[in-house]
Amino acid sequence: MKNLFKLLPVFFMVLSCGSSSTLNSEKQGDLVIAFGSCNREDSPQALWDDILKNDPDVFLWGGDNIYSDTDDAKVMKAAYELQRNNKGYQKLLNRVPVYGIWDDHDYGLNDGGKEWHFKEKSQQLFLDFMEVPQNSPRRSREGVYHAEVFETEKGKVKVFMLDTRYFRDPLAKSEDPNRRYEASEGAILGEQQWEWLENGLRDSEADFNVILSSIQVLSAEHGFEKWGNFPSEVERLKELIVSSEARNVILLSGDRHISEFSATEVEGLDYPLVDFTSSGLTHTYEEFSGEPNKYRVGEVVNDKSFGLLKFDFDKNRLRMEMRGNRNKLLQDYVLEFQ
């Protein structure tokens, strides 16, 4: 029997005049995951100390972890080294396990997909940055998708980190000058990755299952990159989440230089499917004036920010937070399952 849910949205807005890993947590069984995206390695990075103030158990890169649109391995490697040597990021690395995915700017090609000739080399450079051992099977597999299970004394969270670049079909360019792309037929994940995700969700014994995508899954009305450019892939993901019977699935995304919560009802799920977009860590769409998103819950945040997921296994509850400079709470959303 699936869980009933209780949805408790609470919003705080800042106004301008505001593999398995066992974790030894001091949070009495709670697990805290921090995540973020859109991070320029050569820009000021003011949020690492704020992230650490929340004592996260894990940090997830959500893509665009560096900005290195290049097919020059030396240039890309230098960008990763600059990021790795950032003092704030070094503090995080010394205290928190770090995992993640890439997006187009660390893939090497703006809005790039499977056509990118440098993708095999950029994959190895990404894995170097993520400190993946040279003998890991991930070194010989196409794509950077990966899963980790984080276990506490009270429960487990499984995180599926998707690769939305390596296998993605070409985008359909729009004739509308206000849009880059239009919806078309095609694939994002590729059959090999779909099979991996299907097996992983169906076999999951986790209390919560988190799917991390570099691009937004639910918001589909804007004209930029998104899962909505391939509507059949969105429906396939929803159908898989239902048929897998994986518990309490949450979507995370980045890319957009804004942060927002999106939520929708999916037939067969008795809880809302939420896509928590957190972007960006070093730069945002400061002149954002609005865009439609019928699934949006709350308001768009265009301050520099990071995301937090706070899991409560006793109450079967998840609190999602957007936080900015000085650890200021910008907006939150509480999802309680019963």
For every one of its 338 residues, what pLDDT tens digit does the chain have, with 9 covering 90 and above? 333 333 344 333 322 223 545 444 334 448 999 999 999 999 999 999 999 999 999 999 999 999 999 999 999 999 999 999 999 999 999 999 999 999 999 999 999 999 999 999 999 999 999 999 999 999 999 999 999 999 999 999 999 999 999 999 999 999 999 999 999 999 999 999 999 999 999 999 999 999 999 999 999 999 999 999 999 999 999 999 999 999 999 999 999 999 999 999 999 999 999 999 999 999 999 999 999 999 999 999 999 999 999 999 999 999 999 999 999 999 999 998 86
> Element (H or E) spanning 128, and its range?
helix 119-129
**Rounded CA gap, 276 and 215, in Å?**
11
Residue 305 neighbours by CB under 8 Å, 6+ apart: 36, 47, 259, 278, 280, 281, 284, 322, 323, 324, 330
- At 256, the amino acid letter reads R
User: Tokens at residue 116, please?
Assistant: 């990118």
What is the radius of gyration, based on Cα positions, of the chain?
19
Of 2, 110, 4, 40, residue with least CA distance to 338: 4
Q: What local confidence, expressed as pLDDT, does residue 2 receive? A: 34
Q: Which pLDDT score, from 0 to 100, does residue 88 have?
A: 98
Q: 99, 14, 109: which is closest to 304 by C-alpha? A: 14
Q: Are the C-beta atoms of residues 272 and 5 closer than 8 Å to each other?
A: yes
Domains of the chain by range and CATH? 31-336 (3.60.21.70)
Contact 144, 163 (CB under 8 A): yes
**Can you say whether the dihedral through the CA atoms of 240, 192, 253, 202 is positive or negative?**
positive
In sequence order, what DSSP letters do the residues of 230-260 get, joined into one string?
SHHHHHHHHHHHHHHT-SSEEEEE--SSSEE
Contacts of 8 (CB under 8 A, 6+ apart): 334, 335, 336
pLDDT of residue 12: 34
Contact 231, 183 (CB under 8 A): yes
CA atoms within 13 A on the CB side of 3: 19
| pLDDT for position 30 | 86
